[in-house]
Amino acid sequence: MFMCNLRSSVKHLASLSALGRHHILQNRMSTSPNPVAAICQITATPNKEANFSACKQLLEEARQRGACMVFLPEGFDYIGSSREETLSLSEPLGGDIISRYTQLARKLDVWLSLGGFHERGHDWENDRRIYNSHVIINNKGDILSVYRKSHLFDVELPEKGVSLKESAFTIPGGSLVPPVQTPIGKVGLGVCYDLRFPELSLALQRHGADILTYPSAFTVATGAAHWEVLLRARAIETQCFVLAAAQVGRHHEKRSSYGHALAVDPWGEVLGDCGGEKPGMVLVEVNLDKVNRTRKNMPVQQHRRDTAFYHNTNMVAKPTGQ
Ligand SMILES: O=C(O)CNC(=O)[C@H](CS)NC(=O)CCC(=O)C(=O)O
């Protein structure tokens, strides 16, 4: 009897996940009550005006197509071609660019996740350092939350032509912020490289997140090797939706990004993928029943034994034969 139940609920989940992206997109037009999110990808350059108009167009289109929350990637404001340019184009949170987005959110009556804003630090006049800030704006134009990227991408991969030192211009954020209640559910905030640190996603899940977000500008080499695997792993471990807006294509002569802005459901199924070629968006229904069902049927968070691993020295294998 128990086996039977288990089997049938597993089957139920499997058939749900087999519905796939097209079904979900079609369903959006039906009477379904589930809110719709738009996950965008863009090719930002050092030209802030051009980036703003490209993003504005995407927001308008997303709104027209029924999205109540729109996700833009890390560096939605710009991707600089040198450390000096990146720094000089930065603005404070109260500056022109965020103010334009708050007005747009109000005008379009839409919620925004702006991942990876180049925010001038609190001591800018002295240290000329910035934060990499993920900003959540509601449909009234209020800034509800600002999360500053914790893990900085200081990585050299000589064989892959990757060499970036984010800490040369960025201050790491000090802490996580509580998940934000939005029309699509409770959204936990990360940025790009944070994706590689599962303890952050688990902490957000423990604090109530239904949805994790990793707005990104992944390099082509690391994206091809790791992007989808990491996003799906975070979704499967936390049993959250994972929404990841992305940069795609060539930003300037020295830098390109992998793209594939992705939406993953709590079962690890990819609901939408923007591809690796050009700007665009995917629209997905965020059905929180999927979160609840997945967690109920496989309660991994209740099965967790991390205290045993971290604090119980008996769990550590003793060397033998010596
Ligand atoms: O520099 C800017 O203007 C915006 N910030 C970024 O693009 C950041 C820091 S250089 N990029 C990443 O974290 C890529 C991570 C990555 O590719 C991986 O984890 O594999």
Instruction: Dump strand ranges (E) for the chain.
Output: 36-42, 69-72, 111-120, 130-137, 143-148, 154-157, 162-165, 180-182, 185-189, 211-213, 241-244, 246-252, 255-258, 262-264, 270-273, 280-285
pLDDT of residue 174: 87
What is the number of structural domains in the chain? 1
Query: Given 40, 192, 240, 274, which residue is catalytic?
Result: 192
- Position 100 in a domain: yes
Classify residue 11: in a domain, yes or no. no
CB distance 279 to 72 below 8 Å: no
DSSP label at 259?
-
Q: Can you tell me the distance from the alpha carbon of 172 to that of 133, in angstroms, rounded to the nearest whole number?
A: 10
- Residues in the chain, pLDDT under 70: 1-32, 308, 310-322
Q: Does residue 313 sit within a domain?
A: no
Contacts of residue 221, Cβ cutoff 8 Å, sequence gap at least 6: 157, 160, 161, 162
pLDDT digit string, tens, across residues 67-120: 999 999 999 999 999 999 999 999 999 999 999 999 999 999 999 999 999 999
pTM of this structure = 0.88
ipTM above 0.85, yes or no: yes
Instruction: Specify if 310 maps to a domain.
Output: no
CB atoms within 10 A of CB 8: 10
Domain assignment of residue 124, yes or no: yes
Question: Ligand 1 pocket: which residues have CB below 6 Å?
Answer: 74-75, 79-80, 86, 116, 132, 153, 164, 166, 192-193, 196, 217-219, 222
pLDDT digits (tens, 9 = 90+) for 220-253: 999 999 999 999 999 999 999 999 999 999 999 9
Of 90, 156, 164, the one to substitute when testing ligand 1's pocket (max ligand atoms within 8 A of C-beta) is: 164
Q: What pLDDT is attached to residue 305?
A: 85
Number of other residues whose CB lies within 10 A of the CB of residue 304:
12
Specify if 204 maps to a domain. Answer: yes
List Cβ neighbours of 227 (8 Å cut-off, separation of 6 or more): 216, 218, 258, 260, 262
**Is residue 316 included in any domain, yes or no?**
no
In which domain, by residue range, is 158 found? Answer: 16-305
| 274 is annotated as an active-site residue | no
Q: What pLDDT score was predicted for residue 119?
A: 98
Asked if residue 1 belongs to a domain, the reply is no
Which pLDDT value is given to residue 316?
Answer: 58
CATH number of the domain enclosing 94: 3.60.110.10
Q: Which two tokens mark 56? A: 């504005």
- CA–CA dist 114, 76 (Å, integer): 7
CB 133 within 8 A of CB 172: no
User: Integer distance in angstroms from the first to the last C-alpha of the chain?
Assistant: 50
Please count the other Cβ atoms lying within 10 Å of the Cβ belonging to residue 287.
21
The CA distance from 165 to 196, in Å, is: 17
Give me ligand 1 centre to Cα 241, in Å: 22
Q: Based on the residue annotation, tell me whether 290 is a catalytic residue of this protein.
A: no
